[in-house]
Structure 1
């Protein structure tokens, strides 16, 4: 049973080796609620219901925890984009499907998305490089597909610039809808299709 506060009950001796998943889930919530500095090891341990010493048996510090959250989040998205890449289709269709997967990932994993893509410089502490690596990895995956469109003669702009514009557009929708949920947003799928089509129309030639 979890107490009314939502925290896990303190685990009795003999249960100190909690699953890493429990620690990661608790830390993810606290990083979003309190920021990197506010989510101390003691608070994360309390949230899970273990001692700080037990937590250190799984992670050397909170930077390692945040780095693993970032890597795990990107791993989910990377697996989906790999599946899309493996299928036979035009580069434009692959790009649309990859960006749709990115879009849906944000809503399915709002805390991980905030940590990876909405953390300001300096907020991620020792895990900042991991967050940057995740962001760069996604960008390169998208740019490879945009470059394929360029090879097909479909682009009227440099692939690097085109990738930035496409990513910025989709990220803008996700971040706004996550941080401003009270706004009277139109249908999520309709907004994605309209925005993506408008950007692609400007970047491609017939």
Structure 2
């Protein structure tokens, strides 16, 4: 029985003071700001507690430097989350390396998703558990993200292999995403609830859902 994959915790390192970025270094400065903002967001415990001043101090820049790259704090927070979503996809895919069976890959995908969400709880909460979302994050853009497309492709592979009954792969994929998101969001938002062991819970829910899909 598989175990929930956990992402390695990142070391908290105080960055050295930096000099003003030279011409042509705008992208590097933006990346440094995102790294600092991700660290501050995780340390502060909520997006409300995170401030532009704190991010500027962590990045070794002035607040106006941040506004040169991000319209406001909301824009910065969601840029951090988009980066984290990319890291989530990279992490999940890394857990599938060397696994050829599509059904096993799908189960591992769910466990890795939950494990990563628990290890990055605040970023996960901001990305998936808030009603405030910038206008440029359209449903179309969300559905085009690599992580979602990888899930749909995996579901199609299972259908072609006959381990999942043929159906609309988009519907099945959204159902699976809703399933693992539900587990993750409950564990993140209600950590004090007397949950059964996470591995036991995840194994049971995923196995039950997979059994239902195979009998359709």
TM bucket (normalised to shorter chain) is 0.7 to 0.9
Separation in 1, partners of 2:89, 2:178: 18
- Give TM-score scaled by structure 2 length: 0.71
Q: Is the 8 A contact 2:110 2:180 kept in 1?
A: yes
Kindly state the Cα deviation for residue 64 of structure 1 after the two structures are TM-superposed: 4.1
Q: CA deviation at 1:179?
A: 0.6
Provide the aligned length of Structure 1 versus Structure 2: 188
Distance in 2 between residues matched to 1:67 and 1:166, nearest whole Å: 24
The C-alpha deviation readout for 1:114-170, integer Å capped at 9, x for no partner, is 1221121xx133563499527854222111101101011222251222222222111
TM-score (norm 1): 0.74
More helix by share: 1
Which protein has greater RCO, CA pairs closer than 8 Å, 6+ apart?
Answer: 2
Contact 1:26 1:44 in 2 (8 A): no
Stretches of structure 1 that go unaligned for 5 or more consecutive residues are 1-7
| Map of 1:167 onto structure 2 | 177
Report whether the alignment pairs 1:112 with 2:120: no
Which residue of structure 1 aligns with residue 52 of structure 2?
Answer: 44
Aligned to 2:83: 72
Deviation at 1:82, TM superposition (A): 3.2
Kindly tell me: are residues 55 and 28 of structure 1, through their superposed partners in 2, closer, same or farther at Cα, counting changes over 3 Å? farther
* Distance in 1, Cα, partners of 2:137 & 2:192: 30
Q: Which residue of 122, 138, 141 corresponds with 2:150?
A: 141
- 3-state secondary structure, aligned to 2:76: helix
Give the Cα separation in 1 of the matches to 2:67 and 2:140. Answer: 22
CA distance in 2 between counterparts of 1:127 and 1:112 reads: 19
Instruction: Give the C-alpha shift of residue 62 in structure 1.
Output: 3.2
Any conservation in 1 of the 2:41–2:47 contact (CA below 8 Å)?
A: no
- Separation of aligned partners in 2, 1:91 and 1:28: 34
User: Residues 127 and 107 of structure 1: is their aligned pair in 2 closer, same or farther, counting only changes over 3 Å?
Assistant: farther
Gaps of 5+ in 2: 1-13, 22-28
Distance 1:186 1:106 in 2: 18
State the distance in 2 between where 1:72 and 1:165 align.
24
CA contact (8 A) 1:146 1:163 kept: yes
Residue in 1 that maps onto 2:40: 26
